[in-house]
Every structure is written in C-alpha cells, then in structure tokens.
C-alpha cells in the first residue's frame, strides 16, 4: 500500500496571459487530498481524473496504460470541489506520485506538472515553493524563494465551476487584450515575493482579481476588497476559474471579527456559503506510507 497527500490552494495570487503563455501563481494551504494506492480492482468510475493520471504516469515511464486495471485508488479529500481550491490538482498530484512509487520510480515536481496538465489545467500548488507555472502546457517558468508571512480567510462562493470547460471557453483574444494589465499585476506580485513585502504582493493579487472580473464575475468584489482594507487586511485574491475569494492578512493586525460582522451587511452575503481561515504552507505532493 502507498499513501500520499497534496495540499489545496485558495485561488491564485496571479493568473493571466503574458508573452504568449497562460500562467499562474497559486499558494498552498493546510487542507489536503489523501490518496491510498494498492493492488486490486480499480474504481475508475469513482475517480475518472485520478485514473487518467494513473494511465498518463504509466505511459510516461514506458509502461502499458492498461496496467491501471491492477490499481485500486481511494481518495479522501477535505477540499471543497469545483470552487477553485485545486481539489483536482491535489488528487492528481498525489495520485501521480503514488503511481510512480508503485512502479518503483522517482519523479520530480516538474515531471508531475507535465503529466498532470495532460489531464486538466493544473495549479502551481504541486510545487514546494511559490512558482509561476504555465498551467496549460505544464512548463515551470520561475520559482521564488519566498515565505508568505500571512494567513488567508477563504470565502467560499456558492455554485461550482468546471475548470476544463471554463478554460476552453475563455477567449485567448480577451486575454491578449488585457496583457498589459496582467503584466502590471504580475510585477506587483513578483516584487512582493522578492522583497517579502506582503502589502505589495496583495496589491498585485487584488489587481489580478479585478482584471479577472471580465472573465468570471464575482458579486460585490469591490465591497469585499474595501471592507478587507478597512479591517487592515493586505488585500484579496480570487480563484480565477472558481468561486472562492481570499482575504490576505497578518493575524496580528487584521480585525477578523469586525470583517465577518460587517461582511453580513454586504448585498452578496447569501452568495457565500461559508468562510474558513487557513495557514499557508509548503506545497507539493508528499509520501506518507510505502
């Protein structure tokens, strides 16, 4: 039996189109998908994306993908599904690592990314470090030696978004029109990462969130942002292909109680299912048992 797990994310600090690439920077939080792999009858109908990941991993190492018929997967995940919290990415990355260990192979983060994007667009939470990642083609663009000195209050919107269909429908023409804005948002995010300045980082992530309103609108995002600043948060970020919004803050400064109390007066409050605080942690799938 092999057991692995991989963390979720609460949306992205940045997502956009720059220099011919669709790229993003997501960040991992302390909620996980745990995969148990053992020999047995496959549950292909229960976990179709994960089994596609098994097949792609087998093919990557030169094996016949039909060997998946000997693999039994069980996935236990606490991550809300189809909200933009990288639930599928976490399932996939943990499954790819487990499959490689099952075959007696070592695998790098970059290789996991290359395999995962063959199944669906993939978040950069598969990397231990904060990473700029081409989420459609699986290319690692840049890693940052940065520690995010903040926490996140994740506002989970109602409804669900199918990431694969959303990315198919998102117009590259529309993305190209906003390229200058994307580059501006990215410049702030990157500066914040390099200088360990969470205020500048959140300025970029907030800008990225508002640019994305044209692609996936979130009700009263401007009110949520204004309230977050009023309560001394750094700013916001969103899931660019999901329904969550993150409030980025220093717990020593942010007035969380005031924010949650006044948030109830925002017109779109009923559009948000729940809120939950998360810690930001190191990313990437990890082996639990072998």
Do 34 and 75 touch, CB atoms closer than 8 A?
Answer: yes
Q: Region 249-265: what's the mean pLDDT? A: 94
Do 26 and 123 touch, CB atoms closer than 8 A?
Answer: yes
Burial 171-200 (b: 16+ CB within 10 A, else e): eeeebeebeebbeebbebbbebbeeeebeb
Q: Tell me what pLDDT residue 177 has.
A: 80
Cα separation, 118 vs 121, in Å, equals: 8
Q: Dihedral of CA 199/203/194/116: which sign?
A: positive
Do 111 and 158 touch, CB atoms closer than 8 A?
Answer: no
The per-residue pLDDT for range 182-219, each reduced to its tens digit, is 999 999 999 999 999 999 999 999 999 999 998 889 98
Question: Strand, coil or helix: what is 146?
Answer: coil
- The CATH-assigned architecture of domain 2-144+281-289 is 2-Layer Sandwich (3.30)
Question: Mean pLDDT of all residues in the chain?
Answer: 92
Q: Is the predicted pLDDT of residue 173 greater than 70, yes or no?
A: no
Q: Region 140-167: what's the mean pLDDT? A: 81
Strand-pairing partners, residue 274, are: 156
Q: Tell me what pLDDT residue 82 has.
A: 86
Do 122 and 109 touch, CB atoms closer than 8 A?
Answer: no
The H or E element spanning position 50 is helix 48-60
Strand-pairing partners, residue 247, are: 153, 236
Give start-end residues of each CATH 3.30.230.10 domain in the chain: 2-144+281-289
Quickly tell me which residue has 């990473």 as its tokens: 131
Give start-end residues of each CATH 3.30.70.890 domain in the chain: 151-279
The per-residue pLDDT for range 107-116, each reduced to its tens digit, is 999 999 999 9
Q: Region 222-244: what's the mean pLDDT? A: 96
Q: Tell me what pLDDT residue 21 has.
A: 92
The domain defined by 151-279 folds into: Alpha-Beta Plaits (3.30.70)
Determine how β-strand 244-249 pairs with β-strand 151-157. Answer: antiparallel
Quickly count: other Cβ atoms within 10 Å of residue 206's Cβ: 25
Q: How far from 34 is each of 16, 50, 76, 219, 289, CA to CA, in Å?
A: 30, 12, 5, 33, 11
Q: How many CA atoms lie within 13 A of 32 on its CB side?
A: 17
Q: Is the predicted pLDDT of residue 30 greater than 70, yes or no?
A: yes
Q: Tell me what pLDDT residue 176 has.
A: 74
Q: Tell me what pLDDT residue 289 has.
A: 75
């Amino acid at each position: 039996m092999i057991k692995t797990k991989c963390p979720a994310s609460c949306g992205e600090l940045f997502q956009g189109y720059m220099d011919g690439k669709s790229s993003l920077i997501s960040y991992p939080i302390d909620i996980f998908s745990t995969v148990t792999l053992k020999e047995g009858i496959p549950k292909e109908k229960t976990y179709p994306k994960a089994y596609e990941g098994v097949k792609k991993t087998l093919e990557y190492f030169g094996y016949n993908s039909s060997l998946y018929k000997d693999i039994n997967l069980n996935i236990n995940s606490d991550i809300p599904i189809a909200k933009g919290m990288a639930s599928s990415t976490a399932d996939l990355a943990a499954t790819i690592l487990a499959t490689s260990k099952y075959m007696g192979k070592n695998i790098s983060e970059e290789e996991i990314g290359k395999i995962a994007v063959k199944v669906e667009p993939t978040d950069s939470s598969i990397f231990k470090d904060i990473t700029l990642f081409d989420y459609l083609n699986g290319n690692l663009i840049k890693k940052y030696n940065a520690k995010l000195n903040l926490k996140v209050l994740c506002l989970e919107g109602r409804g669900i978004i199918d990431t694969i269909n959303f990315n198919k429908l998102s117009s590259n023409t529309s993305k190209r029109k906003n390229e200058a804005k994307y580059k501006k948002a990215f410049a702030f995010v990157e500066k914040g990462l390099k200088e360990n300045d969470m205020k500048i980082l959140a300025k970029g992530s907030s800008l990225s969130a508002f640019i994305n309103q044209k692609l996936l609108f979130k009700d009263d995002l401007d009110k949520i942002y204004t309230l977050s600043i009023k309560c001394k948060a750094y700013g916001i970020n969103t899931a660019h292909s999901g329904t969550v919004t993150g409030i980025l803050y220093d717990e020593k400064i942010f007035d969380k109680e005031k924010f949650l109390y006044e948030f109830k007066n925002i017109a779109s409050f009923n559009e948000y299912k729940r809120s939950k605080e998360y810690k930001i942690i190191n990313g990437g799938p990890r082996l639990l048992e072998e």
